[in-house]
Amino acid sequence: MKKLVSLLLVMMMATMLFAACAKDEPAETEPAKTEETKKEETKKEEPAKEVEAMVLRLAETHPGDYPTTLGDMEFARLVEEKTDGRIKVEVYHSKQLGEEKDVIEQVQFGAIDFTRVSVGPMTEFSPELAVVALPYIYASADHMWEVLNSKIGDDFLSGLESSNFVGLGWYDGGARSFYNSVRPVKTLEDLEGLKFRVMQSEMMVDMVEALGASPTPMAYGEVYSSIQTNVIDGAENNWPSYDTSSHFEVAQYYTLDEHLRVPEILIASKIVMDKVSAEDLALIKEAALESQMVQRELWAEKEAVSEAKIREAGNEIYELPAEEKAKFAAAMAPVWEKHAAGYENIINAIQAMAK
């Protein structure tokens, strides 16, 4: 009986082995391939020659997980998707390509293709942009968004062409307030004599002077050590920047005076965009607008997280009452006189949009 089982097993294995070998052999009916047919086949398998993608660089000052950087990355993803890979955008965050003012210059010359910056330093290159960043011009974030996403905002973006930029879209930058390492600021008078870093822009210098304090224009990356070594007493910024720059560690007094709502702006080099087809440029603009929605959501989340973290850290936060805020706003009159002159119609239209 045992012998019979072994015999059966051997027979089964032999059959399986034969079947396996038979699979590898070409079917007898298939004609042998000539050299010609082989060549033809390899030709067909070769993929169509791909058009080389245009690889463009985007400069960003903030770290990789900051809301503007995440907005840039969404923009990059959308550009590649919408152009079917014809255009690829690489995001260089954390100042890898330099500080904002230098980056803007390079975008103007076409050495850098895109950047996301604050409108603050952009006013040096395109002075009319000061209008969308005037102290206390917006009644709220909603008011600002209504303006930026209206024809007024679009006109400011297209107006950038005369300075050799292509304005693509706006991102949220929240409200900016003063912080310092010396004393709590509860009144306008408390600002007197304090040395504040400002963005590299004449309007920002004028603004701090109008408040009776002393302005020092400086690159963002130098602020932390300048406060630490008492070169300056403080600076001004929104919650997420106060947090991620670690300025909150060296300047513990934060007064929520919300003197500015400076939009963030996404721009491209006109020299570079002139080499892109009109169809692709339209897709790039579309991508910028769509990425705005993502950035704004991430912004709101980050604002809340940063505020909670800084309050938790024990910083002294002072909410400026409305009456005192009105004094800050009134003190800004000379800034408006100088930087808003000639734009009265637009300003009236902006103010009429406040609810």
Q: Does 120 bind ligand GTR (CB under 6 A)?
A: yes
Burial of 164 (0-12, 13-18, 19+ CB in 10 A): middle
Least separation, in Å, of the C-beta of 241 and ligand GTR? 4
Rounded to whole angstroms, the Cα distance separating 31 from 54 reads: 46
Compute the half-sphere exposure of residue 220: CA atoms within 13 Å on the CB side of its CA.
Answer: 23
Q: Does 237 bind ligand GTR (CB under 6 A)?
A: yes
CB-nearer residue toward ligand GTR: 87 or 235: 235
- Check binding of 299 to ligand GTR (CB under 6 A): no
Among 165, 178, 196, 220, binds ligand GTR (CB under 6 A): 220
87/267 with CB nearer ligand GTR: 267
Looking at beta carbons only, is 98 or 173 nearer to ligand GTR? 173
Nearest approach in angstroms of CB 278 to ligand GTR is: 30
Is residue 135 close enough to count as binding ligand GTR by CB under 6 A?
no
Listed ranges 144-152, 156-164, 208-216, 237-245: which one lies at the site for ligand GTR (CB under 6 A): 237-245
Single-letter amino acid code for the residue at 252: Q
Is the distance from CB of 292 to CB of 299 less than 8 angstroms? no
* Contact set for ligand GTR, span 67-86 (CB under 6 A): 68
CB of 159 to ligand GTR, least distance (A): 20
Indicate the DSSP class of residue 62: S
Output the smallest distance, CB 108 to ligand GTR, in A: 17
The two structure tokens encoding residue 222: 């130098």
The closest alpha carbon to 157, from 139, 165, 4, belongs to: 165
Q: Are 309 and 247 in contact (CB under 8 A)?
A: no
Asked if 132 is part of the footprint of ligand GTR (rule: CB under 6 A), the reply reads no
Mapped onto helix, strand or coil, the DSSP state of residue 35 is helix
Binding residues for ligand GTR, total number by CB under 6 A: 13
Q: How far is the CB of 45 from ligand GTR (least distance, A)?
A: 50
CB of 319 to ligand GTR, least distance (A): 20
Distance (Å, whole) CA 186 – CA 95? 34
E strand segments, the chain? 54-60, 87-92, 114-118, 165-171, 176-180, 195-198, 214-217, 234-237, 253-260, 264-269, 316-319
Assign residue 194 a region (left: φ > 0; alpha: ψ between -120 and 50; beta: otherwise).
beta
Residue ranges that bind ligand GTR, judged by CB under 6 A: 61, 68, 100, 117-118, 120, 173, 199, 220, 237-238, 241, 264
